Amino acid sequence: MKKIIETKKAPGAIGPYSQAVEVNGFLFTAGQIPVNPGTGEIPEGIEAQTRQSLLNVQAILLEAGLSLDNVVKATVFLKDMNMFAAMNGVYSTFFSKNYPSRSAVEVARLPKDVLIEIEVIAAR
């Protein structure tokens, strides 16, 4: 049975999708772009955008009673792979030593022309 997870502490869905869905002990988040849910603003630069995207992911996880320690897989979509090192520097501050597996890919364009989007899979 699937359970829909929603929180106002992350940007709301702007289409026919959920912020996250939990099924069989796994939580699947929608991709989180760096929109501040309180102001609607998008910060400048890859470091600030990475931080905000991960804060949005974290808020969804917390709503589901989970934390970043529960993340088993992350996918990072970057506007430019040349931003990888800067993204990775911020990303590494959010996860403990038992890092989740991760993919990072360059994409042609992201919603609102942001620099990054992050989605995760977490396990209870």
20 pLDDT more than 90: yes
CATH of 2-123, one of 3.30.1330.40, 3.30.390.30, 3.40.50.150, 3.30.200.210: 3.30.1330.40
The pLDDT tens digits for 64-118 are 999 999 999 999 999 999 999 999 999 999 998 899 999 999 999 999 999 999 9
- The phi and psi torsions of 4 (rounded to 5 degrees) equal -90, 135
Burial of 116 (0-12, 13-18, 19+ CB in 10 A): buried
Average pLDDT on 42-64 reads: 98
**Does 61 score more than 90 pLDDT?**
yes
Annotated domain spans of the chain: 2-123
The full DSSP string for 82-111 is: GGHHHHHHHHTTTS-SSPPEEEEEE-S--G
Judged against a pLDDT cut of 90, whether residue 14 lies above it is answered with no
The pLDDT, as a whole number, for residue 96 is 83
Cβ-count burial of 68 within 10 angstroms (0-12 exposed, 13-18 middle, 19+ buried)?
Answer: middle
Q: In whole angstroms, how far apart are CA 87 and each of 14, 33, 36?
A: 25, 13, 18
Q: What is the pTM of this model?
A: 0.97
